[in-house]
Structure 1
Amino acid sequence: MGSVDSTAPEATETIDVDRSDPGYRRWLKEAVRKVQADANRSADTHLLRFPLPEEWKIDLYLKDESTHPTGSLKHRLARSLFLYGLCNGWIRPDRPVIEASSGSTAVSEAYFANLIGVPFIAVMPRTTSREKCRLIEFHGGRCHFVDDPRTMYEASAALAAETGGHYMDQFTYAERATDWRGNNNIAESIYEQLRLERYPEPAWVVATAGTGGTSATIARYVHYMQYDTRVCVADPENSCFFDGWVHDDPDATSDRGSRIEGIGRPRMEPSFMPTAIDRMMKVPDAASVAAVRALERVIGRKAGGSTGTGLWSALRIVAEMVAAGRTGSVVTLLCDPGDRYLDKYYSDSWLADQGLDITPYTLALDGFLATGRWSE
């Protein structure tokens, strides 16, 4: 996996940057140009169809975010966060960018840090998949591990203070760094790609939440454009988002970290907008794993656990529509590729170690896809 820095780097003297200095302004303009050029080079991500029986008259799609240059939905977020930090004057030449992340955001941020030539340090749980750590290092970043995921925030802020760097803080800034009114955000892209489909305005969009930025962007866009689409957020075990939403409790917490990397949080994050969404589902972790394995059987693609969480909820919504005799389309997200998790969600030994039995959930999925009836 390569060397991993599990201790704080040496502190550096903090020297303020003169933001009117011509040299700094040249650096800033070039950094912003490079980040924007990355977007200009990138084609839109695909909208894949998940095959359902024609007689149901329901279409299920997965927005395949794994085709971004860094392989995940978080590429969009990282680009937005870097532009936000640069234009606010927070990211400076030769100073590290630090992020608290369970992996995919850190991979994408390491890519953009390398693109503009600044150091990057990812503060992450020690249980993060080895492949994500390798990818962070591949893009020139360093990994700083913590044993308790709840301490990532404080550890990141401390590293920023010690190094004179910038703590990106995706959990605070994700919802405000993204232009939710349009500008080729993920919501606008989904609707444009559905334009020629038989149900161009989806009945439901299903997202998962790590920062909450994606669900906030989609929900805000739906309201702004006056669509009738409903937005559902699927939440894994060991996450407080569902309880905080159900009980309208901004102080909800969880005492354990999520086993589904990239989603679920131990606290209600500032970027999670519970008032903007219509529904939440709590999804057992074993169901998430069963769903990604079913996805591979159906369309031949491996995906990460967060994709399974969303797909499970999307299929539950499809089952409700079938039972009610409703037609329409449902969209969920393929967040990242499964090759990052071969030692987890595709490993039977990992499932055994975690005490997860996916058999009943696999039977429920297979039965539904064969008969149109959901039973658990």
Structure 2
Amino acid sequence: MRMKNKGVYSSITEVVGNTPIVRLKKIEEQYNIKTQLYAKLEYLNPFGSVKDRIAEALVEDAWKKNKYRKDTVIVEASSGNTGISIASVAARKGLKCVIVIPENTSEENKRMLELLGARMIFVSKGIQEAIRKAKEFTGLIKSAVMTRQFENKVNIRIHKKTTAKEIIKSLKDIDYFVSGVGTGGTITGVGEVLKKKKNSNTLIVAVEPWKASVLSGKQVNPHGIQGIGVGFLPAILNIKIIDYVFRAKDYEAIEYARIMAITEGIAVGLSSGAAICAGMKLGADINDASKKVLIMVPSSAERDMSTELFDNNSQSLDNLVKTDSKLEITMDKQLNEQQDLPMQIS
């Protein structure tokens, strides 16, 4: 976690955390949203995403369990951001790193992994195949250690220890916490702390792709919102704390990321665009000046420069997003009984 006012740090990992929360006043004004909208800008971590928070903790946990040697290989399955953060930690520790990555991962993520010295193994069928391949590779290589971001509860603990505490310190009485669901670490870690806070009435809103809505019990198909919608329920995800599920369409992730850029001057990526979409529509639906909505912004637009977010030929903003306060909201009430949700979708 970042140390305040130190000035000089002994390693890049000390710079992680204490990201700012910014009120989205211009969006509130332009779209006539009475509800208070806030964004926690996680892309201001040193390697550009919320995954910087968990990387060192995952690698250190693997070290405690397996004891590194000079030939140790750190292995993870990732669509980009976690892989980049882990590759950074491995590089600083002088460890080899292998990231198993879906072929459709953005070129920016691939190039960053290459720059950090990570070896990439590509798979064609998405993150579930990447996880299987990473486990297979780890089993075959004696010196390989897998950090297991989708299963390791260290992922949750670090968000409780850092992200949740930062939020509570900066913003009192949050009514809605909006977060995309990838590994489930952020929404579970922060959500559990917010729910247990004294006199808490915070409602937790999970954001997933329309085309891969596992939490909503829908069929899983390929989608374009990297970082969320992995197509299965991660082992560390606590679905019992989720009050609402928002299903974001691919084009909404693009267009609301553009809204964030041209209105607030904050350039965010596609998963962030999906969360902004959920937060804005929720805010418009509530339309109550006393209510506060906090939106997690996990990564920046720079990670998505090769995607449709930067495609000038995609549909125009005017055709896709109405610039008035009548924003439709598609929120599914989340059932808290685990048996009501599919545990695995292949």
TM-score, normalised by the number of residues in structure 1: 0.77
Q: Any idea what SS the aligned residue of 2:49 has?
A: coil
The CA RMSD measured in Å over matched residues stands at 2.5
- Counterpart of 1:75 in structure 2 is 52
- Counterpart of 2:324 in structure 1 is 367
Q: How far apart are the structure 2 equivalents of 1:298 and 1:228?
A: 30
- Give 1:338 shift: 0.5
Q: How far apart are the structure 1 equivalents of 2:181 and 2:73?
A: 27
Q: Any idea what SS the aligned residue of 1:172 has?
A: coil
- Counterpart of 2:261 in structure 1 is 296
- Give 1:313 shift: 0.5
Per the alignment, do residues 93 and 260 of structure 1 end up closer, same or farther by CA in structure 2, a change over 3 Å counting? Answer: same
Note if 1:116 corresponds to 2:93: yes
- Written as runs of structure 1 = structure 2, the 5 A alignment for 1:1-20 is none
2:277 to 308, 312, 316: 312
AA in 1 matched with 2:324: G
The percent identity for this pair of structures is 21
- Counterpart of 1:218 in structure 2 is 190
**CA distances 1:19-76 after superposition (whole Å, capped 9, x unpaired):** xxxxxxxxxxxxxxxx995443446111122112398653211111111111101101
**CA distances 1:87-145 after superposition (whole Å, capped 9, x unpaired):** 23365442111111100110001001111111111111111111101111111111111
**CA distances 1:208-229 after superposition (whole Å, capped 9, x unpaired):** 0110110100111112323211
Comparing 95-104 with 258-267, greater Cα deviation is found at 258-267
- Counterpart of 2:292 in structure 1 is 329
AA in 2 matched with 1:338: A
Q: How far apart are the structure 1 equivalents of 2:20 and 2:70?
A: 35
Structure 1: runs of 5+ lacking an equivalent: 1-34, 195-199, 245-251, 352-356
- Give 1:238 shift: 3.1
Bigger Rg, structure 1 or 2: 1
Structure 2: runs of 5+ lacking an equivalent: 1-8, 330-346
**CA distances 1:164-196 after superposition (whole Å, capped 9, x unpaired):** 2012221111x444326843x2111112112xx
Note if 1:186 corresponds to 2:157: no
- Counterpart of 1:338 in structure 2 is 301
Q: How far apart are the structure 2 equivalents of 1:153 and 1:375?
A: 36
- Counterpart of 2:104 in structure 1 is 127
- Counterpart of 2:141 in structure 1 is 163
- Counterpart of 2:333 in structure 1 is none
- Counterpart of 2:151 in structure 1 is 172
Q: Any idea what SS the aligned residue of 2:223 has?
A: coil
How many residues align? The count is 315
C-alpha contact (below 8 Å) 2:75/2:145 kept by paired residues: yes
- Counterpart of 2:204 in structure 1 is 231
C-alpha contact (below 8 Å) 1:253/1:268 kept by paired residues: no
TM-score, normalised by the number of residues in structure 2: 0.83
AA in 1 matched with 2:73: P
Per the alignment, do residues 341 and 177 of structure 1 end up closer, same or farther by CA in structure 2, a change over 3 Å counting? Answer: closer
**CA distances 1:199-249 after superposition (whole Å, capped 9, x unpaired):** x211101000110110100111112323211110111133243224xxxxx
C-alpha contact (below 8 Å) 2:20/2:40 kept by paired residues: yes
- Counterpart of 2:23 in structure 1 is 49
- Give 1:160 shift: 1.0
Q: Any idea what SS the aligned residue of 1:234 has?
A: strand
